[in-house]
Structure 1
Amino acid sequence: MSKEQREALDTLFRNGPLDVGGDPARQREVFTRMLTSRPLPEDVVLTPARLGEVPVLEIGIDGVTPEGTLLWFHGGFYVFGSARTSAGLASDVARRTRMKVISVDYRLAPEYPFPAALDDALAAYRALLGETGSGNPARIAVVGESAGAGLATALLVRARELSLPMPAAGVLFSPYADLTLSGASMTTKTAVDPSFTPDAVAVRAKDYMGVADPADPLISPVFANLRGLPALLIQAGSNELLLDDAVRLAARAAADDVPVTLEVTPGVPHLFQAFAAMLGEGDAALRQVTKFLHAAVTPGGS
């Protein structure tokens, strides 16, 4: 789309009130207010529930019979966010794909550092397999945004380690997948990333790691053995600090014989897909997500 649309989005991020490296309690309020201030379409149905004793938010479209289930993990550097803060993007994907979203309210750091979020993700996934039939995961895909994309990848690795059935696919939006912060884009993209700074990201990484090693593959999946994972679609914008997380995660998947598609959209920031209504690149990216999920997830689980 137009340069003006991209510049408007860039300005929106740069002038936003969120201080990513600030006090967690205060910034959670800011983050929530930013991402829930716009009403959802009237036909979006939100239903709080529990899955494997983990709180979740079921997101569906009124009148639509789901053709599959998307187990969704929100972003926020493992410190901010909730299932509700991701409901805008999640409901858009639910509408486009005709699938139900189950968004997981995993525990947040620093109160609950690693592996709390992964434990919650695994409990929810185990319970979802039980609901759909452990031998029939063809109706499930995992989806994550930012930290949630890193968590979704870690979940897949852990599930494989435990010999659990794999879902049909994974969609990873701008994955936060290297908490060692060693990607070159952490420095080369500082001038063009309108949302984050390396120092702020480092603060949040310490919150999640606690006393654990940041290079632990279940914290930083760019260092994981990904062999045996399902087909992955990884999307990122070229104007983000986390670009190399996406690129290296895709390279790791390819090296481990995982079917993987990497899509990098030039000139757009982190999670640009959430602004598909105003940004043509976001709409185009979600059309690719829809095509990928329709090809991967089997309606009816057959």
Structure 2
Amino acid sequence: MSRQQRDALDAVLRSAPRSTIRPTPEEQRSGFAAAVSRPAPEGVVTRRTVLGGRPALELEPVEASGRGRLLYLHGGGYVIGSPDTHAGLVGELARRTGLRATSVDYRLAPEHPFPAAVDDGLAAYRELLASGTDPRDLVMAGDSAGGGLSIATLLAAREAGLPQPAAVVVFSPWADLTLTGGSIRSKESADPIFTEADVRAYADLYVGAGDRAHPLASPVFADLTGLPPLLVQVGANEVLLDDAVRLAGRAGADGVEVTLEVGPGLPHVFQHHYGRLDEADAALDRAARFLTAHLSAGRPDADHLEPVH
């Protein structure tokens, strides 16, 4: 892969202006949208919909492979981001898997603090099952806070007695809101995007005075027994490196089939940079293969299964 591409990306990310005055959530949302939004790729049709009582964006490849579904939860520290900011990334994953994807516009903090996002993730997952989606034909994915939220959603589903999906992929998951991972400090100079203070500010807005070690806020402290096969991708140059490493370790200790990929020299959610960073395209290809490998497409009995309520 290209060292030149990695270095160029690092320089671009470091060149973003930083203010000593922290912007308001609304200012952060508009700035984030302007900085990262990319349209859905050619050949992927988007439409507005509602899932679990929340607005959502459906992204369907023109050549969708079949009945499989992808549920996606976007990143943004539980404060910023939307299905629109992630239309490019989710569309790329949908295109590479050949799956119809639904990206949920879950409620954001500080207007809607923990556990609102988890409630919305669970409601979306529950509705997919209730509408007839076989869990063996359903996969999940998420990035950053959406990665942690994906795991929290599956934990909430398990506690609600719902079946698990076929597989889950998380990109640079934020999985420890107590900020006790060593990389929060040791990787601060290597991370071109975040400082410890940045991450702490998001945790303050999402959890406030609540329990930041709650398993649904910080899945690194959860019992992950019974979760589906998990792929964790993370960059080595990010303060959340240890969140990903410890989440994968916890999953493995709890008997979950887990694969951890650490990309050397790569920043937070480097997959956003598909088309201009070779490692991003390769990672998305691997994520797509992982998800489709675990789907039950072509099962002869699939059409005879009863929907889950």
Please tell me the TM-score bracket, short chain as reference. over 0.9
Q: 1:146, CA displacement in angstroms?
A: 0.3
Separation (CA, whole Å) in 2 of partners of 1:260 and 1:82: 28
Could you tell me which residue of structure 2 aligns to residue 74 of structure 1? 74
Distance 1:58 1:43 in 2: 13
Which position in structure 1 is the counterpart of 2:215? 217
TM-score, L = length of structure 1: 0.95
| Structure 2 partner of 1:170 | 168
The C-alpha deviation readout for 1:225-248, integer Å capped at 9, x for no partner, is 000111100000100000000000
Counterparts of 1:18 and 1:27, CA distance in 2? 12
Cα deviation 1:243-271 (Å, max 9, x = unaligned)? 00000000100110011011111111011
5 Å-filtered alignment, 1:39-78, equals 39-78=39-78
Q: Give how far 1:288 is off.
A: 1.2
What CA distance in whole angstroms lies between the structure 2 residues aligned with 1:224 and 1:126? Answer: 21
Q: CA, structure 1 residues 224+53, in 2 after alignment: closer, same or farther (shift >3 Å)? A: same
Q: What's the % identity of the aligned pairs?
A: 52
Instruction: Give the 5 Å matches for 1:137-156.
Output: 137-156=135-154
1:29 is matched with 30
Q: CA deviation at 1:42?
A: 3.6
Q: Is the 8 A contact 2:68 2:297 kept in 1?
A: yes
In the alignment, is the contact (CA less than 8 A) between 1:139 and 1:300 conserved in 2? no
**TM-score normalised to the size of structure 2?**
0.93
- Equivalences for residues 121-270 of structure 1 within 5 A: 121-133=121-133, 136-270=134-268
Give yes or no for contact 1:18–1:30 (8 Å, CA) kept in 2: no
Q: Is the 8 A contact 1:21 1:200 kept in 2?
A: no
**Residue 105 of structure 2: aligned partner:** 105
Q: Supply the distance in 2 between the matched residues of 1:39 and 1:245 (Cα, whole angstroms).
A: 29
Which structure 1 segments of 5+ residues have no match?
A: none
User: Matched residue of 1:172: which SS?
Assistant: strand
User: Alignment partner of 2:191: what SS?
Assistant: coil
Aligned-pair distance for 1:58?
0.3
For 1:115, give the aligned amino acid.
P
* Superposition misfits of 4+ residues, deviation over 6 angstroms: none
Considering only aligned residues, what root-mean-square deviation do their CA atoms show, in Å?
1.6
Task: Could you tell me which runs of 5 or more consecutive residues in structure 2 were left unpaired when the two chains were aligned.
Answer: 303-309
How far apart in 1 are the matches of 2:18 and 2:215? 29
Residues 40 and 126 of structure 1: CA distance in aligned 2, closer, same or farther (over 3 Å): closer
Contact 2:64/2:100 (<8 A) preserved: no
